[in-house]
Structure 1
Amino acid sequence: MGIFGQKEAELAVGAGLAAVLPPNPKPWYRTSHIVKLNLALLVPLLSSASLGYDGSMMNGLQTLPQWKEFFGNPSGALLGLINAVYPLGGVVSLFVVTYVSDRYGRRLPMLIGLVTCIAFAIMQALAQDLATFVTARALIGFFGSFLGQPGPVIITELAYPTQRGKVTALYNTFYYFGSIFAAWCTFGTFKLQSTWSWRIPSLLQGAVPFVQLLGLYLVPESPRYLVSCGRVDEARKVFADYHAGGDINSPLVDYEIREVEQVLAEESEALSSTSWMDLIRTPANRKRTLIAIVVGWFAQWNGIGVVSYYLTLVLNTIGITDAEDQTLINGLLQIFNWMVATFCGAMMVDRFGRRPLFLLSTAGMMVSYVCWTGLTSAFIRTNDEATGRTVVAFIFIYYFFYDIAWTPLLQAYTVEIFPYTLRGRGLSVTLITTFLGLIVGNQVNPIAMNAISWKYYIVFCCILAGLLVIVWFLFPETKGYTLEEIAEVFEGKKEARDGKLHNVQSRSEMGEMKDNGKAEQLEHA
C-alpha cells in the first residue's frame, strides 16, 4: 500500500506507478522523508506569496491618503502605469529566466530573484519621488519572474508522485498568503500620519523573499534537470532520499529514473533542436501552447483584474468609501480566498479532476458576475444600503468560484501538460500572457471604471460566457497520469510506452518476489 492507500494513489497517478510505491501504512505527516520533502517545497511555494503581496499592497496603498498625497493623487492612466510596471518587468525577464532555468537548473534563478527582490523592496520603501517608486516596482517585477517561473516547475518535478497534483496546485494558493500579509500590513499602518504608513508595507515586500533565502539551501535540484544533464546518479539519490527514505534500490526510484530517461530520450528524438518554435511545431504542442495562452490571459481577463487591483473603485461605486472599511474588506477577502483556493481547489484536483473544476469555476463566475452587475445597477438607482451589502457578498461568491480552479491551476495545469524539454517555455508562455493581461487591464480597467462605472462589468459577463465554451472544447483531463505519462493525453499511446509499462510491471513483480526471497529466480529468468 502507498502513502495514501492503493485506491487514492491510483486515482492520482494511475495503477502503474501505484504498484511500485513503497509499503507504508503511516500517513505522510508521520513519514520523515515526505515531511522533509514538503518542508523543502515550502521555499518555492512561498514564491507565489512574494508575487501575491504586490497586488494586495497596491490595493491597500490606494486607500491611504498619505500615499496619494505624497505622490500627487495619481489616477487614471498614471495609476494604471504605477500598477502596470510590475507585470511589464516580469514579461521582459521571462525570456531571460527561462534560459537560465533550463541551462543552469531551477535553484540558481531562485537565488538571483530572492536577493534582488529584497534589495529593490528597500529601494521602493525609501523612494522620495514617484519616478523612484515606479522604477523599484519595475525592477521587483523583473526579478520576481526569477521566483515565479522556476518555482512551480521545481515543485512539480520534485514532489512525491501521489502528492504532485495537490502540491503543485497549492503553489498559486500561496498568492493569497502574500495578499493577506499585504492587506493586513496596510490595515495596520493606515492610521500612521507619516509616510511610514506606506513605506512599511513597501519595505515588507522583501520579507517573504528573505525567509525563502534562509531556507533555499534545503531545496534539492530538480532530478529531471539532473537526468537531462547526464547526472543520473545524483538524480537517483534525490529520488531515493525524498521519495523512498534513502533506499537507492527502491522499485519506485527505479521506475522514476527509467521513466524520466525514456521520456527525455523520446523528446530528444522528436525535437531537432530545443527552441521556442517547438511550442508550435506539432499539433500536440500547438494545443498545449493554446491552452497555456488561454489559461494565462483569461486568468486576468475574466473580471478578476477589476477587483484585485481596483477594489477601491469597485467599493466606491456601492457607497463604501471609508478607508478603514475598504482595507478591512480587502483583508477579509484575502483570507477567504486563501481558504477556498486551498481546501476547495488545490485539495480537490485529484478527487474531481482539472477539467470539471475549470468548468464549474468558469460557470460560477459567469453567473456571479451577472448577479453582481444587476445588483450594482440597482444600487446606483436606489442607493439602498442592503443592496450594497449584497454586492459585497457577490464579490466573495465570485471569488469562491474563481479560487476553485483559476487560482490553484494557473501554473499547476500548465506545467504538467508540457513535456520536460518545453516545460519552462510553456510556463513562460502562460506567465507572459498573464502579465500582458495585467498590463492591458491596468491601463484599461481604471479608465473604463471612471468612464462607465458599473456598466464595464457587462463586458466581463460576455467574456466569461465565451470562456466557458473554450474550456469545454479545449481543456483535457490529466488526472490519473504520472508527470511523464500526461503526454499520452495529447499525443496518444506509443508502443514504446506500452513496453515501458511492461517493464514497470516486471520490476514491481521483482520487488514483490524479493520480499518473498525469490528474486534470484526472476533475475535468472
Structure 2
Amino acid sequence: MRDQDIVGEALASVLPQHDRPWFRVPHLLQLNLILLVPLLSSAVAGYDGSLMNGLQSINEWKGYFGNPNGSILGIVNAAQSIGSVISLPLVGILSDKIGRRWTLLSGAIVIVVASIIQAASVQYAMFVFSRVLVGVGSMLVTQPSPMLITELAYPTHRGKYTSAFWTFYYLGAILASWASYGTQKHMSGSDWSWRVPSIIQAGFPVVQIIFWSFVPESPRWLIAKGRKKEAEDLLARFHTAGDTSHPLVQFEMSEIARTIEMESRASETKWSTLVKTPGNRKRTLIAICIGVFAQWNGVAVVSYYLTLVLDTVGIKDSDTQTLINGLLQVFNFIIAGSAALLVDRLGRRTLFLWSAVGMLVSFIIWTACSAVFDITNAGALGKTVIAFVFIFYFHYDIAYTPLLLGYPTEIFPYSIRSKGLTVELMSVYSSLIVLAFVNPIALDKIGWHYYIFYCCFDVVVLIVTWFFFPKQKIAEVFDGPSAAMSSSIFYKHNDFDEKGKSSTEHAEHVA
C-alpha cells in the first residue's frame, strides 16, 4: 500500500524517502527491534492463559491439589483475572505519572516473583495467591505496552504494530502449551511436570527486564511532563536518523504539542471525559463491547477449559489433550499473525463482521455435533467438534486477537487513551472473572447444552458490530482526510461526533 493510504496525505508528504526496505535502514531497524520488548507483554499474558489449560491436563497437578473441579477449579482460573481487575485503577495512574516504561518494568518484576511463588506452591491457597499476583503483574505490563508502541512506532509501521500486539499472545501460549506437553511426556509421575512450566512463566518477563534499558519513554509522555527537548531528540533518533530539523519531526512535535496545549486548558483529564461528548461515548461503548465480546463469544470456554470441552467428546487422555492444546496455539499464532498484516488492507469493521459471522456459524455446528455425540458417542463427531474448535478460533483470531487492544488504542485520543484502555481491560477481565467461575460449573452440570447460550450471544455480537462499529476503515473514521492525527489515522465527524460540530476536542492534529 502507498504511504498516503496508510497515514493520509498530510503526514505522508513529510515522511523521509528511503530507497531500500525499512530493515536495511539502521535507525528503523533499531526502533523495531526495541519495540519487541513491549510487544512481548502480550506473550506474557498468553503464556498464563494457555498454562492453566496445560496444567489441567497434567495428572500430577490435579492430584497434588486434590482434583479441583467446579467452583474450586473456577477460583484458580479466576484468580489471575481478579488480580488484573484489582490492579487496573493503579496501573492507569502509574502509566500517566511515572511513565509507560517504568510501569512495564514493575510488572515484569512482579511476574517473576509470582512465578517463583507459583512453582514453589505447597498448598492450594499458595497457588491461588500466586495466580492473583500474576494477574497484577500481567496488567502492569499489558496496559502501558500498546500505548508505548503506538507512541514510539514509525508512522507507517504503527498500524501493523498495534495489530500485532495481541497476536503475540499466542507466542506465549505456544511456549506454555508445549512446555506442558513436554513435561507431561517426560516428567510424568513427578511434581516437576507442573512446577517446570510455572518456572518458565518467568521467561518472557526476564527477557523484558534484560532489555528494558534500551526502551525509550513515550515522546508524548515526555512532552506532557515538559521534557520537549528529550522528546524531539527521541523522535529524531528513531524516525529521521537524528535530524531534528526534518519536517517529520517538526510535524510530530507540533501535533503532540497542540494536544498537550488543549489538555493544559483543563486542570485534569477526568474519567467523565470518556462519556462527556457523543464522540467519546461512542468510543467508550465500542471499547467496552470489544472487551466483553472478546470473552463472551465462547472463546473463554476453550481458552481456560479446553480439557473439559475435550472430556465432553470422549477425549480424556492427558497426552492427547496437551498435544491438541499445543497444536491449537500454533494454529492461532499463524492465523492471528496473518490477520494483523491484513488490517490496513481490509479495514477493522470488515474483520470484525467476518469474525462475528464465522464464530456464530462454527459455534452452532460445534454445538450440534456435541449434542449428537452425547446421544450416539460416535467418534467421528468428537473429531468434528475438535475441527470446529479450530475453525471457531480461526474466525476469532482474524479480529479479536490483532484488534483487541490495537483498535481502542487507535480510536482514543492521547488525552484519554490510558483511561479508555483501562475501561476496556476492565470489561475484559471482569468478564473473565465471571466466566472462570461459571464455565466449569455449567460444563459439569449441563454439558453441551451450555453452548446454546454462546450461540445466542454470538447473534448479539453480530448485531452490535453491524450497527455500531464505524463503516469506514479506521483511516477514515473520525475527522476526514484533511486532519492529520497523532496516531497517523483520520477520523470522520459523523462516525463519532455530532454532524456539523468541530471534533478538535477529540482529535490530535496540526491546524
Q: What's the TM-score once normalised by structure 2's chain length?
A: 0.94
What is aligned with 2:475? Answer: 479
Give the distance between the partners of 1:334 and 1:485, measured in 2 at CA: 32
Tell me if 1:301 matches 2:287: no
SS of the counterpart of 2:404? helix
Evaluate the alpha carbon distance shift between residue 292 and residue 495 of structure 1 in structure 2; reply closer, same or farther with a 3 A threshold.
closer
The answer to whether the 8 Å contact 2:336/2:402 transfers is yes
Give the distance between the partners of 1:328 and 1:256, measured in 2 at CA: 48
Shift of 1:263: 2.5
Structure 1 residue corresponding to 2:374, chosen from 380, 393, 397 = 380
What is aligned with 1:355? Answer: 349
What is aligned with 2:168? Answer: 174
How is 1:21-420 mapped onto 2 (pairs within 5 angstroms)?
Answer: 21-191=15-185, 192=187, 193-269=189-265, 271=266, 273-343=268-338, 345-420=339-414
Give the distance between the partners of 2:404 and 2:107, measured in 1 at CA: 21
The answer to whether the 8 Å contact 1:160/1:243 transfers is yes
Unaligned 5+ runs, structure 2: 477-483
Tell me if 1:451 matches 2:439: no
**Which amino acid counterpart does residue 431 of structure 2 have in structure 1?**
G
Give the distance between the partners of 1:264 and 1:353, measured in 2 at CA: 29
The answer to whether the 8 Å contact 1:354/1:479 transfers is no
Shift of 1:55: 1.3
**Which amino acid counterpart does residue 303 of structure 1 have in structure 2?**
G
SS of the counterpart of 2:42? helix
Give the distance between the partners of 2:42 and 2:174, measured in 1 at CA: 12
Give the distance between the partners of 1:272 and 1:485, measured in 2 at CA: 27
SS of the counterpart of 2:357? helix
**Which amino acid counterpart does residue 220 of structure 1 have in structure 2?**
P
SS of the counterpart of 2:269? coil
**Percent identity for Structure 1 against Structure 2:** 49
Larger Rg over CA atoms = 1
The answer to whether the 8 Å contact 1:84/1:438 transfers is yes
Give the distance between the partners of 1:382 and 1:502, measured in 2 at CA: 66
Q: Deviations for 1:92-117, whole angstroms, at most 9, x for unmatched residues? A: 10111110110111011111111111
**Which amino acid counterpart does residue 156 of structure 1 have in structure 2?**
T
**Which amino acid counterpart does residue 370 of structure 1 have in structure 2?**
I
Evaluate the alpha carbon distance shift between residue 74 and residue 501 of structure 1 in structure 2; reply closer, same or farther with a 3 A threshold.
closer
Give the distance between the partners of 2:489 and 2:175, measured in 1 at CA: 38
Shift of 1:266: 2.9
Evaluate the alpha carbon distance shift between residue 495 and residue 44 of structure 1 in structure 2; reply closer, same or farther with a 3 A threshold.
closer
Shift of 1:198: 0.4
Shift of 1:265: 2.2
Higher alpha-carbon deviation: 259-268 or 163-172 = 259-268
The answer to whether the 8 Å contact 1:417/1:486 transfers is no
Give the distance between the partners of 1:352 and 1:232, measured in 2 at CA: 37
SS of the counterpart of 1:410? coil
SS of the counterpart of 1:300? helix
Shift of 1:268: 3.9
Shift of 1:250: 1.0
Shift of 1:494: 4.2
Aligned CA RMSD, in angstroms, stands at 1.8
Give the distance between the partners of 1:485 and 1:358, measured in 2 at CA: 19
Give the distance between the partners of 2:263 and 2:313, measured in 1 at CA: 55
The answer to whether the 8 Å contact 1:109/1:146 transfers is yes
The answer to whether the 8 Å contact 1:172/1:410 transfers is yes
What is aligned with 1:510? Answer: none
Give the distance between the partners of 1:267 and 1:300, measured in 2 at CA: 34
SS of the counterpart of 2:2? helix
Q: Deviations for 1:226-279, whole angstroms, at most 9, x for unmatched residues? A: 11112111111111111111111111111111111112323444x553122221
The answer to whether the 8 Å contact 1:59/1:309 transfers is yes
**Which amino acid counterpart does residue 251 of structure 2 have in structure 1?**
Y
The answer to whether the 8 Å contact 1:353/1:478 transfers is yes
The answer to whether the 8 Å contact 1:121/1:140 transfers is yes
Q: Deviations for 1:349-378, whole angstroms, at most 9, x for unmatched residues? A: 111111111111111111111111111112
Give the distance between the partners of 1:43 and 1:321, measured in 2 at CA: 38
What is aligned with 2:479? Answer: none
Evaluate the alpha carbon distance shift between residue 479 and residue 33 of structure 1 in structure 2; reply closer, same or farther with a 3 A threshold.
same
Shift of 1:479: 2.5
The answer to whether the 8 Å contact 2:27/2:237 transfers is yes
**Which amino acid counterpart does residue 352 of structure 2 have in structure 1?**
F
The list of structure 1 runs, each at least 4 consecutive aligned residues, that deviate by more than 4 angstroms after superposition, is 484-489, 492-497, 500-503
Give the distance between the partners of 1:443 and 1:287, measured in 2 at CA: 30
How is 1:430-469 mapped onto 2 (pairs within 5 angstroms)?
Answer: 430-469=424-463
Shift of 1:32: 1.1
How many residues are aligned here?
494
Give the distance between the partners of 2:386 and 2:67, measured in 1 at CA: 26
Give the distance between the partners of 1:501 and 1:122, measured in 2 at CA: 46
Shift of 1:471: 1.0
**Which amino acid counterpart does residue 274 of structure 1 have in structure 2?**
T
Give the distance between the partners of 1:437 and 1:256, measured in 2 at CA: 37
Shift of 1:8: 2.1
SS of the counterpart of 1:299? helix
SS of the counterpart of 1:127? coil
Shift of 1:25: 1.8
Q: What's the TM-score once normalised by structure 1's chain length?
A: 0.91
What is aligned with 1:424? Answer: 418
